[in-house]
Structure 1
């Protein structure tokens, strides 16, 4: 192998490692067994999770007053998310329905998970939303299709729980998502998923967007800006 080829290989490997290092990662701690949906971040189930924070808007500007804590767990069957969402002026749907999904829930206060397992076609992923009132929607996103209505009928079987602490101006939302709804592979330590986390907060025109990784767009649907979820073993 001549020097030029060695140099080229070094550059390619270094570039790949550098790019991987630049992608933010949320490490999701394994839970030995599934749990009831708990919205208390101080509970035993959630204390073992590693919190991350959503604290910038869709264009990367810091929004400290809406800094949102997110905790995550995984089991042999499910992914769990807990959002701790400070708010100022709520924007709640006046006639909440929690027994069936609420289309266009994103027009109200929500917390959202975008997650996909396809690293070859990043325009395919799933979207999960929860409101402070326990409303929900799940969607199968295909950005190749300009009309997304087909993905509205998809049903993941995910479950939600929510509560509002009006005195503290914080609402809590928990999700339990069947892992099989996201990935054809079984969950295991080291598994990677592509993901981003979002919130919409407050009525128009003062609606505040809060994100984990800023899409740098008015739309949240920019998969090129997603980070990674990594499944890790039980917390030692």
Structure 2
């Protein structure tokens, strides 16, 4: 089995505890990311039309204070907004290229979850989603983004404070999660999802389709 097939669509996403201190910018070191469990996807929101040139790899690490995510995104084209707020926040960021994660720590409320997005030029948005509601989360997230134009890859790291998600991270808990990408300047754009939402038209807001996120002490899955 090829590495690409291994990354395809595992049943669960795994966040590995970060065992060494972060780098000078407060993000995981390359060796820490190397311990994380990769998952990947390259199909559209219906699980069809695979495009290896737009494959997304996701890795997750955690500490008691921070959930770290890294998106490694292959791309065909880049389309971004040229402007944002002074802190990099950009409303309606999803109208350009983005990588997204929807997190649902509280499994008892299917319709409430947190949304985080980051663009290839480092703009971001975070939202608290509930039925009929969409509020700025003001999570305090940090991000670091680099782009390799020669390889046609952009990499985004997110540092999300645990306190904006739960009062205390319980490593024994199982959260619900989904990961997405959007690419393209005009319709039809490429709407990609780790767990396909199966809707007739592109729609990521389908919490019934979320997968599971578990927290482990090491790459082998030990608590």
Within 5 Å, which residues of 2 pair with 1:211-230?
A: 211-217=193-199, 218-230=202-214
Structure with the bigger percentage of helix? 1
Cross-structure match for 1:159: 142
Q: Deviations for 1:133-158, whole angstroms, at most 9, x for unmatched residues?
A: 1101100001x21x53xx13x20111
TM-score w.r.t. the length of structure 2 is: 0.86
* Contact map agreement 1:197 1:212 (CA 8 A) in 2: yes
TM-score w.r.t. the length of structure 1 is: 0.81
- Paired residue total: 206
Q: What is the CA–CA distance in structure 1 between the aligned matches of 2:91 and 2:28, rounded to whole Å?
A: 24
SS in 2 for 1:167: coil
Tell me which stretches of 4 or more aligned residues in structure 1 moved more than 6 Å: none
Q: What is the CA–CA distance in structure 2 between the aligned matches of 1:88 and 1:97, rounded to whole Å?
A: 27
Cross-structure match for 1:9: none
Q: What is the CA–CA distance in structure 1 between the aligned matches of 2:21 and 2:104, rounded to whole Å?
A: 22
Cross-structure match for 1:24: 11
Q: What is the CA–CA distance in structure 2 between the aligned matches of 1:100 and 1:156, rounded to whole Å?
A: 13
Q: Match for 2:123 among 135, 140, 162?
A: 135
Within 5 Å, which residues of 2 pair with 1:39-54?
A: 43-54=30-41
SS in 1 for 2:57: strand
Q: What is the CA–CA distance in structure 2 between the aligned matches of 1:209 and 1:122, rounded to whole Å?
A: 23
Q: Return 5+ residue gaps in structure 1 as ranges.
A: 1-22
Within 5 Å, which residues of 2 pair with 1:1-236?
A: 24-33=11-20, 35=22, 36=25, 38=27, 43-61=30-48, 62-97=50-85, 99-142=87-130, 144-145=131-132, 147-148=133-134, 151-152=135-136, 154-184=137-167, 186-217=168-199, 218-235=202-219
Q: What is the CA–CA distance in structure 2 between the aligned matches of 1:235 and 1:53, rounded to whole Å?
A: 16
Rg (Cα) greater in structure:
1
Q: Deviations for 1:24-67, whole angstroms, at most 9, x for unmatched residues?
A: 21111101355245598xx1120010100022211110233211
* Contact map agreement 2:114 2:127 (CA 8 A) in 1: yes
Instruction: Go from structure 1 to structure 2 and tell me whether the alpha carbon gap of 1:204 and 1:37 turns closer, same or farther (over 3 Å shift).
Output: farther
